[in-house]
Amino acid sequence: MTSIDQQTLQDLEFTTIQEWLQDFAIGVTSQKRLADLQPIPQLGDIQKELLKVKEFLTIRTTGEAFPGLQFEELTKELILLPIHGSVLSQEGVVRIYRASELVNSILHFFDKRELDFPMLVTLNSDVYYTKEIIEAIEKVFDTKGAIKDDASTMLLTIRQQMQVLKNQINRNFEREMRRLVKEGLLGETKEAFVNERRVLTVVSTHKRKIPGSVAGSSKTGSLTFIEPQVNIPLNNELELLIDDERKEIFRILKQLTADISHHLPLIKGYHELLVELDFIHAKTRLAIELEADLPSISDEQCIELIDAVHPILWKNNKNLGKKTFPQTILLDKFSRMLVISGPNAGGKSITLKTIGLMQLMLQSGLLVPVHPNSKMSFFQRILSDIGDNQSIENELSTYSYRLKRMKYFLEVSNRRSLLLLDEFGTGSDPDLGGALAEVFFEHLYNKKCFGVITTHYASIKLKADRLKNAINGCMLFNTETLEPLYRFSVGQPGSSFTFEVAQMNGISLDLIHEAKSKVNEQKVNMDKLLSELQSEKTYLEKLNKEHIEAQEVAQRTKVHFEEQKKRYDEKYKAMQENVAINNSFIVLGKKFHQFIGRFVTKSRKKDINQPLLEEIKKYISVEKSKSEEARRLETLKANVGVPVKKSKKQKVQVEKKDPYLQEKIVVGSTVKLIETKQTGTVEDIQGNQCTVVFGFLKMKVEKEKLIYIK
């Protein structure tokens, strides 16, 4: 069970969160529930509420086409429907119609999505998809929410008669008005409406010239409103028909109400579902507004906030265009009491309030503005002592009030309590108050509770350092610019920077030096040591961050270089292969160019070119044999390691010695390309790759493509 401490809700400004939530709600019921929102007593209920909001947040942030939650509550209709003979208003019937349409759309959305949104689907248990209510209402109402003319035979007859009368009244009126305009008896406006009847605006000096019924006059009395005599009986009849229409509509609505009342449990389900979705949706809209998420929930007591921001401060700073510094804080069974020290206005109280407000929001079923990798748990009690809470009524000073709160904390705290104590121990003599605060701190520690404490007392900082499961932390301060950094650092206590803050606020150095002379030298030296330690730690953190960033840049550069090298090597290899192919084509081209030069075109001898043709034929045969041999070698190379069944003839060929003496090739050997017969010198050998110099050309060639010369 969670014990709700009202003072804690006030201290942590939870009421501001409630006000924001109310602004996001549509209906009055949800607004009231959100105004009364508090931490939920049961752990299981808290988890269900959080999962509902998380599922709705997923719907809203992933672009799912969820129906718009625009509805009016059915509170009045649910009161009337159980009463026999009751009649719903036209507006009430339209509200039920729209609720039925909306719920049908919601059910259609969740159809076949039970696995995606299991918690939200459970809300639909008391409703089902049906068109019966919609169809019954559509027989009576049109799309604009008005009663149809043919809602009943009687209503149709009445309205037809009314229309005939209205047409006749208008024709009579237009005729009378045209006549009187010609005679100059009407005022500038010519006509008006009095008691929903169309009347003539007659200049008062001529009112006796016009037959009819006087319906009134203008404020000045210069105009008299007269209903033409010819329309008086027609208007009287029209009023009777209007009364008949009203009675028939009442009868129709009564019958429709009786028909709809058969669906009372379903309509009640409509109301409950829409109100609940409105309640959850308001929480979801707040989560979107605050960029909040659901941290993982631990069964063990712990608070691990990553990039947490105080929502009220974050929103205010956002509106002002200012930056809010996120905090990362860890409390677990090994460091369950955190003592935060540091300068005033450095962010100690905000850090403490951030932890407290995060916990209140989570246990009230709200998502919190932290990184989703954060981890939180639940506490039975969340207790705070923040600010100057004097009580004039009970004649309590700040210190007396704090002592009463501390007495209460000592009575009720246990291992499932979270204490938030701001400016712990202040309000009395520093030495005596510090001693008492140290005792309180140790007793609270022994109760195994979790706590966050801000203080300036050195005794509390030292106590936190000595206790096994307590830890110091500080708010960082720039000793060069004398400005707070608003960043939290865990592991060491912080200096209060009393004299530095005084200097920052314009206190003269003479006064500061005089004050230092009055303070115990050891205390000044201790504060100075803390200041220097914090400065050095900040510097080391900066160096470490720069080193990590440099490593990341170097690693990225290395990967980029290796990828580039691989691409260039592949490109170079392809170019070398193209060069070899092109060289072979050049050699062939030169050879055939010689053949062409030797070819005789004009001669009386018929067989003069026969020797040349034979030579060409022989050359082509040799070149073809070379190409086939090269292809054979490529095939053998591709099939290395693959067992091949060979004939006896093939075995003999394989067992023959290498005809090209390729095993003799070493650096400095003279070799010849099998394909082009070019001669070159081996400059380097890497595995099976030889770097060969052919005149001015240097190429990488596999050994299989070379013939050893010498």
Mean pLDDT, all residues of the chain: 85
User: How far apart are alpha carbons 690 and 683 in whole angstroms?
Assistant: 8
User: How far apart are alpha carbons 471 and 467 in whole angstroms?
Assistant: 8
- Enumerate residues 6+ apart whose C-beta is below 8 A from 610: none
What residue has token string 């045969």? Answer: 621
User: How far apart are alpha carbons 87 and 84 in whole angstroms?
Assistant: 9
User: How far apart are alpha carbons 593 and 595 in whole angstroms?
Assistant: 5
Q: What is the pLDDT of residues 184-215, one digit of tens each?
A: 888 888 888 888 889 999 988 888 888 998 98
pLDDT of residue 559: 84
Name the E strands within 664-704: 670-673, 679-686, 689-694, 697-702
- Enumerate residues 6+ apart whose C-beta is below 8 A from 600: 608, 609
In this predicted structure, the answer to whether residue 48 has a pLDDT above a threshold of 70 is yes
pLDDT of residue 557: 86
Q: What is the pLDDT of residues 75-127, one digit of tens each?
A: 999 999 999 999 999 999 999 999 999 999 999 999 989 999 999 999 999 99
Q: What is the pLDDT of residues 570-603, one digit of tens each?
A: 888 888 888 888 888 888 888 888 878 887 777 7
User: How far apart are alpha carbons 13 and 3 in whole angstroms?
Assistant: 18
Q: What does each C-alpha distance from 187 to 55, 68, 178, 182, 192 come to in angstroms? A: 68, 52, 13, 12, 11
Q: What is the pLDDT of residues 409-424, one digit of tens each?
A: 999 999 999 999 988 7
First to last CA, the chain: 96
User: How far apart are alpha carbons 693 and 508 in whole angstroms?
Assistant: 83
In this predicted structure, the answer to whether residue 4 has a pLDDT above a threshold of 90 is no
In this predicted structure, the answer to whether residue 637 has a pLDDT above a threshold of 70 is no
Instruction: Tell me the CB-side half-sphere exposure of residue 358, using CA atoms within 13 A.
Output: 32
Q: How many of the other CB atoms lie within 10 Å of CB of 7?
A: 15
What residue has token string 């509390």? Answer: 460
CA-nearest of 338, 293, 289 to 312 is 289
pLDDT of residue 404: 87
User: How far apart are alpha carbons 440 and 410 in whole angstroms?
Assistant: 8
- Enumerate residues 6+ apart whose C-beta is below 8 A from 323: 317
Percent of the chain with pLDDT over 70: 85
pTM over 0.75: no
If residue 526 lies in a helix (H) or strand (E), which one and from where to where? helix 521-598
Q: What is the pLDDT of residues 166-191, one digit of tens each?
A: 999 999 999 999 998 888 888 888 88
User: Which amino acid does the sequence have at 518?
Assistant: K
pLDDT of residue 653: 44
**Mean pLDDT of the region 449-464:** 87
Q: What is the pLDDT of residues 471-501, one digit of tens each?
A: 988 877 665 555 666 777 776 665 555 666 6
User: How far apart are alpha carbons 387 and 221 in whole angstroms?
Assistant: 70
